Chains A and B, each alone.
Chain A
């Protein structure tokens, strides 16, 4: 009965308006349907098959690939590694990005210069970033001198106990990669947050100041609440970007120490290009996607709670 009542309210005019409104998203939907739906359908279909990528014959295996994946230690380890990198990105990278965005929003000298500089790392290719950090973190020696800048400085400062071969030590390699990833990525958070700060009405600040609020109160009561949506997007994109990190790791350590540096995308590549198990690789892709969607749903629920308070 209620639905009927609702339907009655839905007049021709409403229908026409809905249609007009829908036409706004139509180009995006068309593009999406063509270029996503078929590949996604195909990936899902392949994930139920055993296929080497060449044969005409694909063997239907039900959910065997998923069952195998569930027990695959390498896969879960790669998820764990990506999780660690994401943790670093969420804390270290985002705090740094926000702090720098706030600093650049103040009336300080040379802020134009800083704004320009902070965006250089994201622009650089992973090849260059990889080269440079490999050189900084190099643990080798030549004629009694350390080649890597970091070890060289530690040596000169007398901190010998800290010297290690940063990228070939299983205990430090993942942390180093995570920090370089943060360094490379903070520029994105920086400009998004900075753009967000720019859209806050300056009158709000002035009004607060007239009311006698100090900097911390302004920050807590105006900046943060106004920035919550942007911060949430930045967090969301950080999680997505960090979970899918791959090229940077490849540039820094190649296939080295995979047991300590593998991430989901590298595992998918390995299954597909290295082991030629396309069905399994697709199963990995699907379950990775499902995991990310679950994380974001949880995140979404949490953030609605946060917004309510």
Chain B
């Protein structure tokens, strides 16, 4: 009897957990499904066809997006920007966060709070000074100028997050490495970074998404079409007055895919169960 009651409780607990998770999951997946559904329709049917699954699949929108000559260029540009900015941030921010968390030097707190405070002044106010600055540095309409700016944008948040994780982490392995004669840089690379992998995965996704979806700063600092990121193409699909919704949705779906794939690739690093020692040697 008692066992039955216990089991019933367990089952109902499991059921309610799944009900909650399922409900939330449904609202999350619905927009993606809706986007996909619309991108298989034509401009005539998208507003009139009320069926949940479109009556006729129409692949023309995807073909239209993919054969758009500039889409390829924009896509490549976004890949370049995202890869550069994310790698730069991971290296620079983890170095800084490691130092803030583990090492001692004068003015440490000052510098740390300086980074944190920088997050709080909203950027919309700064486009004129920023442009003037980039112009003085002779970096207008160059990839490197845009990459440096975007790196700077993501830096503060990444340092804060990484420092939190480093603070929380056990120092045993680092101590062992130090006793083995490993230098500070060596410990950072061989011990601290692999241990902070979940946090780094979060930072990679956060910054990748940030760069991938950015287009205002890109248009402030870049001029040439061949340097523009992917979001610019999506802006072009949304005409000033007329919007070709199915093509826009196809474009948005294609644009969202790489980030979702990146998330899938990263999330297994968030999960424990990997042997940490593998890269330490």
Contact = CB atoms under 8 A, between A and B. Distances in A.
Q: Do A and B come from one complex?
A: yes
Interface stretch (B56-64, B70-78, B164-172, B173-181): B164-172
Given A24-B95, A36-B152, A289 B199 contact: no
Contact of A20 (B92, B98, B126, B184): B184
A233 interface: yes
A27 B122 contact: no
A244 B120 CA distance: 9
A199 interface: yes
Given A53-B128, A233-B160, A120 B18 contact: no
Contact of B32 (A42, A124, A196, A289): A124
Contacts of A285: 121-122, 124-126
A255 interface: no
A294 to B, nearest CB: 10
Interface in A98-125: 99-100, 103-104, 106, 108-110, 113-125
Nearest to B165: A199
A21 B155 CA distance: 19
Contact of B25 (A31, A99, A118): A118
A284 interface: yes
Contacts of B129: 38-39, 42-43, 46
Interface string B24-54: 1101111110110000000000000000000
A60 interface: no
Nearest to B198: A195
Interface string B10-27: 000010011011001101
Interface string A256-278: 00000000110011001000001
Contacts of A28: 92-93, 95-96, 115, 155, 159
A209 B9 CA distance: 20
A120 B96 contact: no
A191 B202 contact: yes
Nearest to B159: A28
Interface stretch (A67-75, A127-135, A162-170): A127-135
A302 interface: no
B280 interface: no
B114 A32 contact: yes
Interface residues of B, number: 85
B35 A229 contact: no
Given A35-B152, A114-B21, A285-B125, A191 B104 contact: no
A288 B148 contact: no
A198 B20 CA distance: 22
A289 to B, nearest CB: 4
A120 B256 CA distance: 9
B240 interface: no
Contacts of B128: 42, 53, 278
Contacts of A240: 119-120
Interface in B226-273: 234, 238, 249, 252, 255-256, 259-260, 263-264, 267, 270-272
Given A31-B151, A125-B256, A229-B167, A132 B121 contact: no
Given A27-B92, A114-B21, A293-B117, A125 B148 contact: no
Given A24-B103, A129-B31, A202 B272 contact: yes
6 contacts: A18-B104, A31-B92, A100-B20, A125-B255, A128-B249, A289-B122
User: Would you list the 5 A-B pairs with minimal beta carbon distance, nearest first?
Assistant: A24-B99, A285-B125, A42-B129, A289-B121, A21-B103
Interface of A: 17-22, 24-25, 27-29, 31-32, 34-36, 38-40, 42-43, 46, 53, 96, 99-100, 103-104, 106, 108-110, 113-125, 127-129, 132, 183, 187-188, 191-192, 194-196, 198-199, 201-202, 226, 229-230, 232-233, 236-237, 240, 244, 246, 264-265, 268-269, 272, 278, 281-282, 284-286, 288-289, 292-293, 296
Given A103-B21, A124-B252, 16 more contacts: A24-B98, A28-B92, A32-B118, A35-B130, A39-B130, A39-B133, A43-B126, A100-B21, A103-B20, A117-B28, A119-B263, A122-B209, A191-B202, A198-B272, A202-B272, A246-B124
